[in-house]
Chain A
């Protein structure tokens, strides 16, 4: 507009002698750190105060093992084990010892892992933290040995183990000795597991190679940090081998969660509390029954029930059981349990949205909870597949039941499915096999199981969660060999006669109670929805407490026998 129209003043040279400015302005090293993801400069102090996650994009920066311990362990509780180990050079690899020594000077660490014992919000555990700053966290003899000794000591002292993994893989300079660390650490963990002890892995960026193929993937619970790269072969190796560009997000934590290999992605600011919650849900607990609130809850439901006079037809109940407003598994879990932590994935193929599961507590007792989950709208249902599980859903359920058996947790299942999903891919992955395997394995689980039918109980897809010591049913739930439509179509070649079929199939709670297919009816004064779920959940909760108390001192053989006999009688 007016470029150059203004006159500038010529400056008088000002005497600088009395100048207080001692140094030229300059940015000191480390004032900012550049985020590798969003490329923005982040003030280092902010980064430190924000669990070393980017204040702008949330990227989780890599941590040193000391930083990690500071974030996880209760202050002053960390006791390091086997800090100093002798340098080894099994292949007499030229320059290797020097390289390790240089790394020690550069990082101030002895090796690529720190092991020891600490408390996490008061829960004592053994812990190992790998450090990617030390030769990319690669595993040689020292890393393998420190982890193995830590796990063995934890087994002796009866401690849970937590390992934060990050590694480029086996350490090349130690050749086959490195490879042997995979077997050594894995077998130590197997012994630890056989002693009934908990192992949590936390996958951090990056976890690859021999570490992934050993201790990283063996956790009872596998957590991961957002965006962490986790894989066996690194992305560059895969790209070079197959000559293809990998898709965005391949091998990231979110990808692994979807593929069923990770229980939970946990942001760093939540990590300590999630771990301590999991530890808490694995500490010993006995059922504590308060008789007062128990009777109060039960009577309340019965009182209102008396007002319910009109008897519903079976077809009415079929419709109610399918109603999109009907309470779902999550709704009951929310009202019945405390501290529910959801775990994901079958560890083979995927995470099925139609089956949810995890650990929780009720009346002071830790339990495993599994539910078939429908959505309440189209978007939810796309993810939940309308409550029709795929084989990976049944396999996730079985994985969690096995986990429950290991930690001696009773299992509570909620069934609500139109049926196991029927589709090409479900068949390819063995839908029949998955269901059969659940019936087979559930029959001998050494912990008590109770299954509650809350909505639709569609055939084999429902039974796969219902080989239980007791099976309960909500008043308006159904449990059937087939949908009334399917029944009518097969028997009478006319699916429009579904209402008639519903009448003769004996699929209501009342009918099935008479047939002794189920053990208990949960009354619904009105069909269960958001409006009255609290009341119904309260009733279930009281019954569950009673169930748990009943089984508290029953020996494993009796638990298994009772279940066997229950089904032997049909």
Chain B
């Protein structure tokens, strides 16, 4: 077993990892930037090493310094957390060459899954459903039409070099395809000087459903059910739940088995997440695989009783999974809220500053993952997420009430937060009824400003 592990991260996830290590009897080494010297993870870890100035490229993203700190601190492994270097294949490859174990999959797997077309090809080969799309650049409208007719409408036409909605059109039916293709192509030609297009089946109002998997180096893979991350604002997740309202027992089993299949096809080892798009006819498609622990992992922990961080460490140490698929039972319902230091009144602008007063809710099955404390100065340099509030109860209805109760108790003074905003979501009937899609927040805000 590892004797000492370095945590290449900050904030609540670093604290989360330090705790897991301590409980396992493994020493921890924290790294921190100059502005983070008073951070909780620095205080809680057994050792801490300053790796440079606040600027990310000089500290948390600086691979050479993190590797040097690992060797200097005498650690054998690195837990990368999420964000930062956690899905950086080059960093993992460097560590492999330095004989440092990164707690996560190998550099080869990260790199394969990080490459969209490579990942897609792997999944197609393994029989995992993907959104039907063209496999090469289309410039000829007739060729595009042929594909669209086969895939079925609606289809989305995207410029290969596109971005920001430019050169992008949805064709709802066969008779408008040619016109939409040509306008998208012309727009692309004007904006990017390129007329290469990509066409795929357009999924209307999809739900984002992700499956947690864990895999050991011996090829054992189990899934731990799904998380529903449909409540997002600008692709930033806000509320996550497990299980999802959108899928029943049969579909869960089917999607879960597909997730396991996907992980096996990727040659995956350690904890990972398979993201699916689910359409209104319960068809699901592989989107991508996240090759790291995720922010919302606690909801899975709450409903399965499995400590994912500890599992990650055991797997990285070369141990076999202690559970089989039949051991996994989804128990009750869990919800997580991401509390950010931001101002919902001003377009959710980040709002760093000093925490004057803090009250943290408690009680049965209420969990708070955070690195803030009274008097803590939130630096402006990093992500604005400061706390995760997670509740667990016997069903969604009870969990929503528990969350509302806990949010009501959570007090963070000194900086603006989204607590009130979240609180109001939990009394919204649309949310309560589970009639949610990815545009929920947008509609909710419209509704709020109208009333």
**Which A residues are closer than 8 A to B by beta carbons?**
1-3, 5-6, 8-9, 11-12, 14-16, 18-28, 31-32, 41, 43, 45-46
Find out whether the CB atom of A26 lies under 8 angstroms from the CB atom of B98.
yes
A-B residue pairs, 10 tightest by C-beta: A20-B318, A41-B64, A25-B100, A14-B1, A12-B25, A25-B99, A23-B99, A1-B38, A21-B76, A27-B98
Chain B residue at minimal CB-CB distance from A9: B22
Whether A19 pairs with B43 at a CB distance below 8 angstroms is: no
* CA gap between A385 and B94 in the complex, in Å: 53
A21: chain B residues within 8 A (beta carbon): 2, 76, 99, 101
Chain A contact residues: over half helix, strand or loop, or mixed? loop
Chain A residues with CB under 8 A of B25: 9, 11-12, 14
Return chain B residues, CB-CB under 8 Å to A3. Answer: 43
A selection of 18 A-B contacts at a CB cut-off of 8 Å is: A1-B38, A1-B43, A2-B43, A8-B46, A14-B25, A15-B1, A16-B1, A16-B3, A20-B317, A21-B2, A21-B76, A24-B76, A25-B71, A26-B99, A27-B67, A27-B68, A31-B94, A41-B64
Chain A contacts for B340, CB-based, 8 A = none
Residues A6 and B44 in contact, CB atoms below 8 Å apart:
yes
Cβ-neighbour of B76 out of A6, A11, A25, A43 (below 8 A) = A25
Task: Write the nearest CB–CB distance from A358 to chain B, whole angstroms.
Answer: 25
Contact flag A43-B43 (CB < 8 Å), given A23-B99, A27-B67, A31-B97 = no
Is the Cβ of B90 less than 8 Å from the Cβ of A43? yes
B70 contacts A by Cβ under 8 Å: yes
Number of A-B contacts (CB under 8 A): 64
Chain A hits for B70, CB < 8 A:
25
A-chain residues with CB within 8 Å of residue B310 when the two chains form the complex: none
Most buried by A among B25, B26, B63, B373: B25
B94→A11 contact, CB < 8 A: no
- Cβ contact within 8 Å between A32 and B99: no
Query: How far, in Å, is A13 (CB) from chain B's closest CB?
Result: 9
Cα A398 to Cα B101 in complex, Å, equals 65
**Nearest opposing residue in chain B for A11, CB measure:** B25
A388 to B318, CA, bound (A): 76
Q: How far is the CA of A14 from the CA of B25 in the complex (A)?
A: 8
User: Which one of A2, A24, A41 lies within 8 Å of B99 (CB-CB)?
Assistant: A24
Q: Is B237 an interface residue (CB 8 A)?
A: no
Give complex CA distance A46, B63 in Å: 13
Cβ contacts under 8 Å, A45 to chain B: 90
Q: In the complex, what residues of B have CB within 8 A of residue A5's CB?
A: 43
The reply to whether A31 and B3 form a contact with Cβ atoms under 8 Å apart is no
Q: Which residues of chain B are near A28, meaning CB under 8 Å?
A: 97-98
Residues of B within 8 A of A14 (CB): 1, 3, 25-26
Whether B264 is near chain A, meaning CB under 8 Å from some CB there, is no
Q: Please name all residues of chain B whose beta carbon is closer than 8 Å to the beta carbon of A6 when the two chains form the complex.
A: 43-44
The winner among A5, A15, A31 for most chain B CB atoms within 10 A is: A31
CA distance A16 to B3 in the complex (A): 9
Q: Which residue of the partner chain, among B2, B22, B43, B98, contacts A31 with CB atoms under 8 Å?
A: B98
Tell me how far the C-beta of A422 lies from the nearest C-beta in chain B, rounded to whole angstroms: 45
Main secondary structure of the interface of B (DSSP, over half): loop
Encoded as 1 (CB less than 8 Å from any A CB) or 0, chain B from 370 to 381 comes to 000101100000
> Which residues of B in the span 71-92 have a Cβ within 8 Å of any Cβ on A?
71, 75-76, 90
B82 CB, nearest partner CB in chain A, Å: 23
- Determine whether B27 belongs to the interface, using a CB cutoff of 8 Å to chain A: yes
Bound-complex Cα distance A288 to B157 (A): 42
Interface members, chain B 264-294 (any A CB < 8 Å): none
- In the complex, what distance in Å separates the CA atom of A41 from the CA atom of B98? 15
CB distance from B6 to the nearest CB of A (A): 10
Q: Which residue of B lies closest to A3 (CB)?
A: B43
Task: Please give, as numbers and ranges, the residues of chain A lying within 8 Å of B97 by CB-CB distance.
Answer: 28, 31
Partner of A19, one of B1, B68, B375: B1
Closest residue of B by beta carbon distance from A21: B76
Return the chain B residue nearest A42 by Cβ. B64
Kindly list chain A residues whose C-beta atoms are within 8 Å of the C-beta of B100. 25
CA distance A24 to B38 in the complex (A): 31
Name which of B1, B44, B68, B71 has the most chain A CB atoms within 10 A of its CB: B1
Instruction: Tell me the complex Cα distance, A11–B5, Å.
Output: 14
Q: Which chain B positions have C-beta within 8 A of A9?
A: 22, 25
Alpha-carbon distance A19/B317, docked complex (angstroms): 8
Instruction: Pick from A11, A18, A26, A41: contact of B71, CB below 8 A.
Output: A26
Which B residues are in CB contact (< 8 Å) with A12?
Answer: 25
When distances are taken between beta carbons in the complex, the residues of chain B under 8 Å from A20 are: 317-318
B76 to chain A: which residues have CB within 8 Å? 21, 24-25
Question: Pick the contact of A25 from B64, B75, B318 — CB < 8 Å?
Answer: B75
Q: A400 CA to B398 CA in the complex, in Å?
A: 85
Is the pair B1, A27 in contact by a Cβ cutoff of 8 Å? no
Known contacts A21-B2, A28-B98, A43 near B63 by CB under 8 Å: yes
Q: Which chain A positions have C-beta within 8 A of B375?
A: 1
Chain B 184-214 interface 0/1 with A at a Cβ cutoff of 8 Å (1 = within) = 0000000000000000000000000000000
Please state if A25 and B98 are interface contacts (CB–CB under 8 Å). yes
Least CB separation from A1: chain B residue: B38
Nearest CB in chain A: distance from B387 CB, A: 18
| Chain A min CB distance to B27 (Å) | 6
Min Cβ gap B241→A in Å is 33
Min Cβ gap A165→B in Å is 34
- Given contacts A9-B22, A12-B25, whether A27 and B317 have CB atoms under 8 Å apart is no
Smallest CB–CB gap between B177 and chain A, Å?
Answer: 36
CB distance from B179 to the nearest CB of A (A): 31
Using CB atoms, name the residue of chain B closest to A10: B25
A5 to B3, CA, bound (A): 24
Instruction: Check if A32 sits within 8 Å of B64, measured CB to CB.
Output: yes
List residues of chain A with CB within 8 A of the CB of B67.
27
Task: Across the interface, name the chain A residue whose C-beta is closest to B63.
Answer: A43
Q: Which of B58-72 contact A (CB under 8 A)?
A: 63-64, 67-68, 70-71
Chain A residues within 8 Å of B318, by CB: 20
B44 neighbours in A (Cβ, 8 Å): 6
Q: How far is the CA of A1 from the CA of B67 in the complex (A)?
A: 28
A452 to chain B, nearest CB (A): 31
Cβ contacts under 8 Å, B376 to chain A: 1
- Nearest CB in chain B: distance from A161 CB, A: 38
Residue numbers in B under 8 Å from A23 (CB-CB): 99
Chain B positions within 8 Å of A41 at CB level: 64
Contacting A at CB under 8 A, from B36-64, are 38, 43-44, 46, 63-64
CB of B207 to closest CB in A, whole Å: 40
Q: Give bound CA distance, A324 to B373, whole Å.
A: 64
Question: In angstroms, how far is the closest chain A Cβ from the Cβ of B54?
Answer: 18
Tell whether, in the assembled complex, residue A11 and residue B27 are in contact, meaning their CB atoms are under 8 Å apart.
yes
Tell me the residues in window 86-118 of chain B with beta carbons closer than 8 Å to chain A beta carbons.
90, 94, 97-101
CB distance from A191 to the nearest CB of B (A): 48
Kindly state the separation between the CA atoms of A18 and B38 in the bound complex, as whole angstroms: 38
**A5, B44: Cα distance in complex, Å:** 9
Q: How far is the CA of A19 from the CA of B2 in the complex (A)?
A: 8
CB proximity of B41 to chain A, nearest CB, Å: 11
Bound complex: CA A83 to CA B150 (Å)? 62
Of all chain B residues, the one with the shortest Cβ separation from A2 is B43
Q: What A residues does B75 contact at CB under 8 A?
A: 25
A193 to B46, CA, bound (A): 73
Most buried by B among A1, A9, A22, A31: A1
What is the bound-complex CA distance between A12 and B24, given in angstroms? 9
